[in-house]
Amino acid sequence: MTDEMFSVRIVPVVVLHDAHDADPLGRALVDGGLPVAEVTFRTAAAADSIRAMSGIEGLIVGAGTVLTPAQVEQAVEAGATFIVSPGLRRDVVMAAQAAGVPVLPGAVTPTEIMAAQELGLDTVKFFPANVYGGAAAITALSAPFGGMRFVPTGGVSSSNLSDYLSLGCVPAVGGSWMVPVDAIREGAYDQVSQLCREAVAGAAAVGK
């Protein structure tokens, strides 16, 4: 997993229902100092949104909620430079590896983590973090899996950001609090940029 997408330690998880919102949202992220977007395949607008955002200078764009090898192919064709999946599916991981893009599958149990290691991975998504024990669970898992890194997503917010980022095995978190659906729908991109600035400042304030 490349560390470029973890440079500011937060990966915005973006849900777009209209690809026309992709370009202004991407520019709002860059303007807010958070030039990363995980565009989820939860809507039909995902591929077109990735395609639009991939043309924005300085923005790292990936695909999230990728469930099948076909979606990996679709995402990469659209310009995604990393793949995120909510769970660990071998053929999805291998499809991303074959395409030459970093992949971050979900893994929350020792068995899943060992399966990820078997596939040559050293970083996994810990999702949904708030359901599977949060920072305490990650701390416990990091003991037997000292070389594994975890990117918690699900229930992460400005109020618990430091709980996760203070852990040495957490290079970044995923979250959507800086890209609220209402703000995107209303075209409130200045609000998005401001929320991004606050998120970046919060991450920078956490010692490691």
Active site residue 208: no
What whole-number distance in Å separates Cα of residue 78 and Cα of residue 168? 34
The residue annotated as part of the active site, out of 38, 112, 118, 186, is: 38
Side chain identity at 166, as an amino acid letter?
S
List % helix, strand, coil for the chain (3-state, nearest 5): 45, 15, 40
Cα separation of 77 and 129, whole Å?
30
Q: Is 57 assigned a catalytic role? A: no
Which of 125, 186, 198, 208 is catalytic? The answer is 125
**How far apart, in whole angstroms, are the C-alpha atoms of residue 59 and residue 196?**
14
Alpha-helical runs (H) found in the chain = 22-31, 46-53, 69-78, 90-99, 110-118, 134-142, 161-165, 181-186, 189-204
Which residues, at least 6 apart from 34, have a Cβ–Cβ distance to it below 8 Å? 8, 10, 12, 178, 196, 197, 199, 200
Active site residues: 38, 125
